[in-house]
Amino acid sequence: MRGGRLEVDELDDPVPGPGQVLVRTLACGICGSDLHALHHAPEMVAMSEASSPPPGMPAPVLMDPSRDVVMGHEFCAEVVALGENVGHREGDVVVSVPVVLDPAGVHPVGYSNAYPGGYAELMVLSDFLCLGVPNGLDPHLAALTEPLAVGVHAVAKSRAEKGTSAVVIGCGPVGLAVIAWLMRWLTTKTFLPFVIYRLALGLPPLASRRRRLRVGVVVGGQHAALLPGSRPSGPHRGALRS
What is the band of 188 on the pLDDT scale with cuts at 50, 70, 90? low
Residues 85 and 155 in one domain: no
Task: Round to whole Å and give the CA distance between 9 and 93.
Answer: 26
Q: What is the pLDDT of residues 193-237, one digit of tens each?
A: 566 555 444 555 544 444 444 555 444 433 333 333 444 444 433
Q: Is 168:242 a contact under the CB 8 Å cutoff?
A: yes
Q: Residue 113 sits in a domain of what CATH number? A: 3.90.180.10
For residue 3, being part of any structural domain is answered with: no
Check residue 187 and give its pLDDT: 63
Task: Round to whole Å and give the CA distance between 71 and 121.
Answer: 12
Q: How far is CA 193 from CA 38, 161, 200, 232, in A?
A: 34, 12, 21, 8
Residues 151 and 218 in one domain: yes
Q: Residue 219 sits in a domain of what CATH number? A: 3.50.50
Residues 127 and 160 in one domain: no
Q: What is the pLDDT of residues 118-172, one digit of tens each?
A: 999 999 999 999 999 998 899 999 999 999 999 999 988 988 877 777 778 777 8
Q: What is the count of structural domains for the chain?
A: 2
Q: Is 80:93 a contact under the CB 8 Å cutoff?
A: no
Residues 153 and 92 in one domain: no
What is the band of 48 on the pLDDT scale with cuts at 50, 70, 90? confident
Nearest of 148, 190, 156, 195 to residue 173 by alpha carbon? 148
- At which of 142, 167, 182 does a domain end? 142
Check residue 116 and give its pLDDT: 97
Any residues with CB less than 8 A from the CB of 81 and at least 6 apart, and which? 16, 21, 22, 90
User: In 178-222, at which residue ranges do the beta strands (DSSP E only) sit?
Assistant: 194-196, 217-220
Nearest of 11, 3, 4 to residue 116 by alpha carbon? 11
Check residue 76 and give its pLDDT: 98
Q: Which of 37-41, 178-182, 185-189, 220-224 has the highest mean pLDDT?
A: 37-41
Range of the domain at 217: 147-241
The strand pairing partners of 94, in sequence order, are 77, 132
- Of the listed ranges 66-70, 81-85, 166-170, 237-241, the least confidently predicted one is 237-241
Nearest of 178, 218, 173, 227 to residue 198 by alpha carbon? 218
